[in-house]
Structures are given as structure tokens and as C-alpha cells.
Structure 1
Amino acid sequence: MDLKQLEHFVAAAEEQHFTRAARRMNIVQSGLSASIRALEQEMGAALFVRTTRRVELTVAGRVLYEKALQIIAGAQEARRAVAAINGLERGSLSIGTCASLNAFFDLPLLLGEFRALHPDVEIRLCHSTAANLMGKVKDGNIDLAFLPLYEKSREIVSMPIASDRLIVVHPLDHPLAGRECVSLHSLAGETFVDFQLDQGTRRIVDRAFASINVSRKTALEVGDVQVLLDLVARGFGIALVPHTFVTARAAHSTAPKIGFTALRKPVIRWDLVAIFGGRAGAAQSRNPAVAAFTEVLKRVRAESALF
């Protein structure tokens, strides 16, 4: 049984005439008759009493008629719902974000621009670590996420948002103070304050040290960059963080002061991206709102100094 058979059946039941029903459905009468016969065979019951002048529903036909109306109405509602989502008259968009990314872009501004264009799309926010968000995007539990890209995957598509370099931050009275730049190898004996293991910046730093076969000591692990920088300022260790975080902190005169030193080449890049589930060219097809959001993102990036 398919939807078209039910539509043919309903037309015949309401017209009480196969010829008129066929005209209403814009098919030949023989086609409509064959469709109804196939439906009767599948249902295992006669649905019409046929005479030379008209057709009437049997008891089984009357039962099916009520159900068929519900099924057809449900299918029409489903078509309307899909059309509304494709036209962004409704739908949802789930976004994941990591901590402290406001130094790189204005998420409320971005969401406000999207809401102004598509007010009926429900927006949901999820705040978590980069590793957790990466998994959620891969599994389809959220539509997109903003995070530091610590690994590439065939299961995701990434869109660049910002690029930065990692620098060494240290207490003002640390031996590194006054040094213009240092090598990664020279930091092997230092004590570090670091991010938690499932955060993107931590994974980038761990990978950098692993690539030169250097181990290091981590005294404290935190989840927030401002707490990390406060701990560094108070002498708990040094850290590797994006330069933009340090610049943003310097604008707040009440925060404890810290020193910073550049890394010698090759620098460690820190790339903030928006990621989507799927392969290149197909990521946005899962949810039309994702494609619309990326267009707003591109425009706001071009217009705003916060990107």
C-alpha cells in the first residue's frame, strides 16, 4: 500500500464514480481501477460495491476511508513541515562553543544577526570542551561548534574563523622575563599551569611537545583561561596560550600582571574554526539552518572587526 493508492481510493469513495475520480486525479480510468484493485488485494477485502452507474463503499471500505483521510492529512502536514524547514520558517539550530572565545568573536552579535533574518528558527547553545563538542558534531547531536582545531577528521568540515600563535606566559619575576623568545625544548624543565586534557588548546600543546619527544610537568589543570592566567601571575607556573588572550587581559588593569615571551620558529599555530558534521560539500544538507547560519557568519566576519 502506498500513499498514491490511498489517494485514488479516497477520490473514488468521494466521487462514487471511477471515471470522475480518475479525472480528479488526472489519470486514465484504467490506471485508477488497477490501483484500487491492487489495494483491495493487499487489504484482503473488497472496498467497493460496483454497479454500472456508481460505486459505493463496503463496510471494510468505510473503515479504510476514515483511516486513509488521516494518513493523507498526516502526509500533507509532513510535506508542509519539511517545506517550512527548508524555507527556514521553522526549525532548530544547535551550536556548541568553548570557554573564552569572546576574545576572538562576538557570538551574541552573530546570533542576533541570524535571529533577525530567521526569527522562527529555535537556537540552542551547548557549552563544553573541544573534545566533547567534536564528538557531538560527529554524532549529529549538535549542528555546529566553535572550537580550537586540534585534529583533522574526514567526518567534519571546518570553516576558519581566526588564527593565532601560542606564546609563553610567566610570572613577572620569572627567569624568562626579559627574554625576547625561547625554544620549546628549553621549557622542558618548567612547571606548567595548563588546561584540562579534553580542551583544544591543551591537546595542541601536548601534541607540540610530543612531536619533539619532550615531557613536561603540569602542576595545575583548569578549565578557564582567566583562572589559568591568574595562577600564572601568582607564581604557580608558566603556560602556553594564544597571544590574543594575553592582549585581551592587558586591557583589564585590575587583573594581576603577567609577562610573556615568544616561541622561536616554528611557531605553534592556534586555529579557531566552526565545524560541521559530514564531508565537504554535504555538511549543510543535514539542516538548512546550518547553511543559512554560515552565510550570516561569512557576512558578519567581513563586516566586523571582532573576527
Structure 2
Amino acid sequence: MDVRQLEFFSAVAGELSFTRAADRLTIAQSAVSAGVRSLENELGVELFDRSRRQIRLTSTGELLLPKVRDALDAVNEVRDAAQESTRAITGAIVIGLMTSVTLVNVPRLLGLYRTGHPGVGVRLRAARRGSAGLVDELVSGELDLAFLALSGPAPTALLAVPLASSPMVLVVPHGHRLAAASAVDLADFGAEEFIDLPPGYASRQIVDDAFAAAGLERRVMIEVSDIGTAAEYVTNGLGVALLPAFTAQDAPAVHRIPVANLPDFTVYLAAARKRRALAAVRAFVDLALSADEARARRS
């Protein structure tokens, strides 16, 4: 049994696909399949049920996965200790992020990070189930860090630092009865038809929580998974939306109206509390926080 076999198993368990795991590890699928099969042969167990169209973990695989990820963390800690004497950081980190959320300039951060730490490989994973999915992947060990949004306090399982915020606004089309309003309350438009993201996305949770606290109901008629496109549905007269202001900044033929008693949409950099932060992770966090402080000084 070697570390690479454990890395293959962890990647396939995270993706539930040998193809996606191979893409994530940037190696041939045949190598991943052979490595996992070799590990199964050495352990004398099956880790994956391959009898269906999509593979899934066996009960034994589910039992072993947390232990394998703990073992990989321990190996990385040994690498960290060895690197402290040379001050050269190597390894790999996996970062989750929300597509179309541009409050934090992630490409710029990654460029600066690569320049400062060329020996570290960085893999990005887009949120597949909104911020709720990113939280789950941090806790399970599939991600080292994530840029995510939260509704309310951070879960106790996470360490989360706020980086940037945007007010939530009501987005309505030209000609709407509220288009000229300077500000509105939830009760002013609760009867409208809404465009929103699916449950699990932070902006959706912020709005759902606010309506629940006000004792109001609303009708979500259209759900879109990309926050960057939601305002386009408003432009075309398909409903109204409550969105972070930055997402509707360039949308044509809409009005953005401040809403009373609605929390801001805030992006956090988060990690799992139970996992020891490796040198490569600490270096990225330090860079992100220093960049945020510099941005705050300029503004």
C-alpha cells in the first residue's frame, strides 16, 4: 500500500467517478482505476460498488474513507515538517468556489500564489450544490479551503473569515410598479413571482430566512443555478429577484432597489476546524487576508 493509492481512492470517493478523479489528479484514468483496484486487492475488500451506472462507495469504503483522509493529512504534515528547514512549500491544495461570484478576485489571488509558491499545485472545484455543498466538502475533507457565502453564523465545524460583502437588492424590470421606489420592505412585494437560486445557495437562504422571520410566504417560479444569470430573467419580464447588488450591476433594463432588514451577501474564506492547516494552505490564507487588507485600505 502506498500514498498514491490512498490519494486515488480519496479522489474517486469525492467525485464518484474515475474519469473526473483522473481529471482532478491530471493523470490517466487507467492509472487511477489500476491504483484503486490494487488497493482493494491488498486490503481484500471492495471499496466501490461498480454494478450501477454511477459508482458508489460500499459500506466498507464509507468506513475507511475518513481514516484514509486522516492518513493523507498525516503524510502532508510530515512533508510540512521536512519543508520547514528549506522554507520551500510544495504539495497540493483543493479550493472550492462559487462561479459568477466576483466579490473576491480569485484569479488574481491564484496568480500571486503561483508566483510566490511555484511548487504547490492548486486545483479549483466549482460549487455543485451551492455554499451548502462547499460546507459539506470542507467537513468531509474533499476541499482544503473554500470561498463561500453564509446565511447567519458560520457552522461550528468551520473556521470562516469574511472577505467581501454586497447588499441584497430587489431587482425589477422597467415599468414595474416599484421601479421608482427608493427603498422597499419585504411586505411590499411578497406577492410577486420570484426568480431565485435553488435551496442550498446562500443568497436563497438569506431570502428564505428573511421571509420566514417576517411571517411571509413567496412564490419562486424559476430557479437558476448561476447567480450571474438571474437578473437576465428579470430583464425579460419573468419575475422579480432578490440578489446581491453586484450580480445585477450590468443587467439591462432593470432597477435595483434597497430592501430594509435584509442581511448582506458576504463571501468568506473557510476551512474545516478539525483539520490541521498545512503549510500550503496557511500560505494561501495569509495571501488572501493580506490582499483583503490592502483592498480595504484602498477603499
The TM-score bracket by the shorter chain reads 0.5 to 0.7
Give yes or no for the alignment of 1:204 onto 2:206. yes
TM-score (norm 2): 0.68
Q: Distance in 2 between matches of 1:221 and 1:210?
A: 19
Go from structure 1 to structure 2 and tell me whether the alpha carbon gap of 1:82 and 1:297 turns closer, same or farther (over 3 Å shift). closer
User: Structure 1 residues 294, 81: closer, same or farther in 2, change over 3 A?
Assistant: closer
Separation (CA, whole Å) in 2 of partners of 1:230 and 1:79 = 47
Matched, 1:290 2:281: yes
Corresponding residue number in structure 2 for 1:225: 227
* Map 1:91-102 → 2, pairs under 5 A: 91-102=91-102
Pairing 1:159-174 to 2, within 5 Å after superposition: 159-174=161-176
Aligned-partner residue type, residue 269 of structure 1: D
User: Where do residues 58-77 of structure 1 align in structure 2 (5 Å cutoff)?
Assistant: none
Structure-2 separation of matches of 1:141 and 1:258: 39
Aligned with residue 271 of structure 1, among 258, 261, 266: 266
Looking at structure 2, the residues matched to 221 and 182 of structure 1 have their Cα atoms a distance apart, in angstroms, of 23
Task: State the SS of the aligned residue for 1:293.
Answer: helix
The residue that corresponds to 1:214 in the other structure is 216
Q: 2:80, 2:278 within 8 Å by CA — same for their partners in 1? A: no
Aligned length: 219
Query: Unaligned 5+ residue runs, structure 1?
Result: 1-76, 250-254
**SS of residue paired to 2:271:** strand
Distance verdict in 2 for CA 1:123–1:223, change over 3 Å:
same
SS at the partner of 1:237? Answer: coil
Separation of aligned partners in 1, 2:285 and 2:95: 12
* Deviation of the 1:82 alpha carbon: 4.4
Cα gap change, 1:195 to 1:88, in 2 (>3 Å): farther
Kindly provide the CA deviation profile for residues 250-296 of structure 1, in whole angstroms up to 9, marking residues without a partner as x.
xxxxx5321121112x23221111111006xxx6x332222111111
Structure-2 change in CA distance of 1:185 and 1:88 (3 Å):
farther
Shift of 1:81: 3.6
Q: Which amino acid aligns with 2:283?
A: A
Helix, strand or coil at the partner of 1:294? helix
- Establish whether residue 256 from structure 1 lines up as the match of residue 252 from structure 2: yes
Q: CA deviation at 1:243?
A: 1.6
* Structure 2 CA distance for aligned equivalents of residues 116 and 101 of structure 1: 24
Q: Which amino acid is the alignment partner of residue 180 of structure 1?
A: S
Q: Provide TM-score, normalisation by structure 1.
A: 0.66
Identify unmatched segments of 5+ residues in structure 2.
1-74
Find the aligned partners of 2:262 and 2:206 in 1 and give their Cα distance.
Answer: 12
* C-alpha distance in 2 between matches for 1:96 and 1:293: 13
CA contact (8 A) 2:151 2:205 kept: yes
Quote the Cα distance in structure 1 between the aligned partners of 2:284 and 2:259.
36
Report which stretch shifted further, 285-294 or 207-216. Answer: 285-294
> Structure 1 116/78 Cα, relative in aligned 2: closer, same or farther at 3 Å?
closer
Structure 1 residues 79 and 95: alpha-carbon distance in aligned structure 2, compared to 1, 3 A threshold: closer
Aligned-residue offset at 1:78? 9.4
Aligned to 1:147: 148
Retained in 1: the 8 A contact 2:166–2:246?
Answer: yes
Report the residue type matching 1:301 in the other structure. D
Whether contact under 8 Å (2:90, 2:280) holds in the other structure is: no
* Distance in 1 between residues matched to 2:247 and 2:236, nearest whole Å: 17
Q: SS in structure 1 opposite 2:167?
A: strand
Question: Radius of gyration: which is bigger?
Answer: 1
User: Is the aligned partner of 1:83 residue 2:74?
Assistant: no
Give CA deviations for 1:148-177 in whole Å, capped at 9, x if unaligned.
112421100111111222110011111111
Q: Which residue of 2 aligns with 1:112?
A: 111
- Given that residues 168 and 263 in structure 1 are in contact (C-alpha distance below 8 angstroms), is that contact kept between their aligned partners in structure 2? yes
Taking the aligned partners of 2:234 and 2:78, their CA distance within structure 1 comes to 57
Q: Verify the 8 A CA contact 1:192 1:218 in the aligned structure 2.
A: yes
Partner SS state of residue 181, structure 1: coil
The one-letter code of the counterpart of 1:161 is L
